[in-house]
Amino acid sequence: MASILEIRHVSKSFPGVKALDDVSISLAAGSVHALLGENGAGKSTLIKIITGVQAPDAGEVLFDGASMRFSKPREAGACGIGVVHQERNLVMRFSVAENIMLDRLGAHSLSRVDHTAIADEAVRWLKMLDLDIDPGTPVSRLSVAQMQLVEIGKALSLRSRVLLLDEPTASLTPNESAALFAIIRKLKADGVAILFVSHKLEEVFGICDTVTVLRDGRNVCDSVPLAGLNRQDVVKMMIGRAEQLARRAPRSKPAASPLLELRGYSSDAGHRDVNLTVRPGEIVGLYGLVGAGRSELAKSVLGLSRQTGGEVLLNGQAVHITSVASALHHHGIGYVSEDRKGEGLILLHSVLDNAGITIWQRLASRFGLLHDATVAREVGPVIAKLEVKTPSLQQTIGNLSGGNQQKVSVAKWIAAGVKLLIIDEPSVGIDIKTKAYLHDLIHELAGRGTAILLITSDMPEMVDVADRILVMDRFRIKGEVENDRVYERVSQAIMTFIHDRKAA
Contact residues toward Mg ion (CB under 5 A) are 43-44, 86, 401-402
Residues 404 and 193: their CA atoms lie apart, in Å, by 28
For Mg ion, give the closer residue by CB, 166 or 467. Answer: 166
Number of H helices and E strands in the chain, helices first, is 17, 20
Shortest spacing between CB 160 and Mg ion, in angstroms = 20
Query: Taking CB under 6 A as the rule, does residue 402 contact ligand ATP?
Result: yes
- The DSSP element (H or E) to which 118 belongs, if any, is helix 115-128
Among the residue ranges 42-50, 186-194, 321-329, 443-451, the one whose residues contact ligand ATP (CB under 6 A): 42-50
Distant-in-sequence, close-in-space partners of 465: CB < 8 Å, separation ≥ 6: 283, 285, 439, 442, 443, 454, 456
Residues 275 and 481: their CA atoms lie apart, in Å, by 15
Among the residue ranges 40-48, 127-135, 224-232, 331-339, the one whose residues contact ligand ATP (CB under 6 A): 40-48
Residues 407 and 157: their CA atoms lie apart, in Å, by 33
Tell which positions 10-29 bind ligand ATP, by CB under 6 A: 14, 17, 19
Q: In this chain, which of 6, 27, 32, 43 binds ligand ATP, going by CB under 6 A?
A: 43
SS (HEC) of 382-443: HHHHCCCCCCCCCCEHHHCCHHHHHHHHHHHHHCCCCCEEEEECCCCCCCHHHHHHHHHHHH
Distant-in-sequence, close-in-space partners of 27: CB < 8 Å, separation ≥ 6: 3, 4, 5, 6, 33, 162, 193, 194, 195, 223
Shortest spacing between CB 44 and ligand ATP, in angstroms = 3
Q: In this chain, which of 352, 400, 408, 454 binds ligand ATP, going by CB under 6 A?
A: 400
For Mg ion, give the closer residue by CB, 223 or 405. Answer: 405
β-pairing verdict for 210-215 and 31-36: parallel
β-pairing verdict for 66-68 and 81-84: unpaired
Shortest spacing between CB 82 and ligand ATP, in angstroms = 18
Among the residue ranges 38-46, 246-254, 318-326, 413-421, the one whose residues contact ligand ATP (CB under 6 A): 38-46
Shortest spacing between CB 67 and ligand ATP, in angstroms = 23
For ligand ATP, give the closer residue by CB, 19 or 423. Answer: 19
Query: Taking CB under 6 A as the rule, does residue 39 contact ligand ATP?
Result: yes
Query: Taking CB under 6 A as the rule, does residue 389 contact ligand ATP?
Result: yes
Query: Taking CB under 6 A as the rule, does residue 434 contact ligand ATP?
Result: no
Among the residue ranges 61-69, 77-85, 110-118, 396-404, the one whose residues contact ligand ATP (CB under 6 A): 396-404
For ligand ATP, give the closer residue by CB, 56 or 280. Answer: 56
Among the residue ranges 33-41, 129-137, 344-352, 467-475, the one whose residues contact ligand ATP (CB under 6 A): 33-41
Q: Is the CB of residue 273 less than 8 Å from the CB of residue 263?
A: no
Report how far apart the first and last C-alpha atoms of the chain are (Å, whole number): 54
Q: Residue 483 binds which entry of Mg ion, ligand ATP, none, with Cβ cut-offs from 5 to 8 Å by kind?
A: none
For ligand ATP, give the closer residue by CB, 82 or 402. Answer: 402
Q: In this chain, which of 177, 350, 404, 457 binds ligand ATP, going by CB under 6 A?
A: 404
Angle, CA of 467, 469 and 475, to the nearest 5°? 150
Q: With contacts defined by CB under 6 A, how many residues of the chain interact with ligand ATP?
A: 19
Shortest spacing between CB 44 and Mg ion, in angstroms = 3
At 274, phi and psi to the nearest 5?
A: -90, 125
Q: Is the CB of residue 388 less than 8 Å from the CB of residue 325?
A: no
Quick one: residue 398, left, alpha or beta (phi over 0 = left, psi -120 to 50 = alpha)?
Answer: alpha
Q: Mapping DSSP to helix (H, G, I), strand (E, B) and coil, where does residue 53 land? A: coil
Q: Residue 56 binds which entry of ligand ATP, Mg ion, none, with Cβ cut-offs from 5 to 8 Å by kind?
A: none
Tell which positions 72-131 bind ligand ATP, by CB under 6 A: 86
Shortest spacing between CB 66 and ligand ATP, in angstroms = 26
Shortest spacing between CB 368 and ligand ATP, in angstroms = 34
Q: Is the CB of residue 407 less than 8 Å from the CB of residue 39?
A: yes
Nearest to 192 by CA among 27, 403, 346, 79: 27
Query: Taking CB under 6 A as the rule, does residue 266 contact ligand ATP?
Result: no
Query: Taking CB under 6 A as the rule, does residue 411 contact ligand ATP?
Result: no
Taking CB positions, which residue lies at the least distance from Mg ion?
44
- The DSSP element (H or E) to which 306 belongs, if any, is none
Shortest spacing between CB 215 and ligand ATP, in angstroms = 10
Task: Tell me which residues touch ligand ATP (CB under 6 A).
Answer: 14, 17, 19, 37, 39-45, 86, 389, 399-404
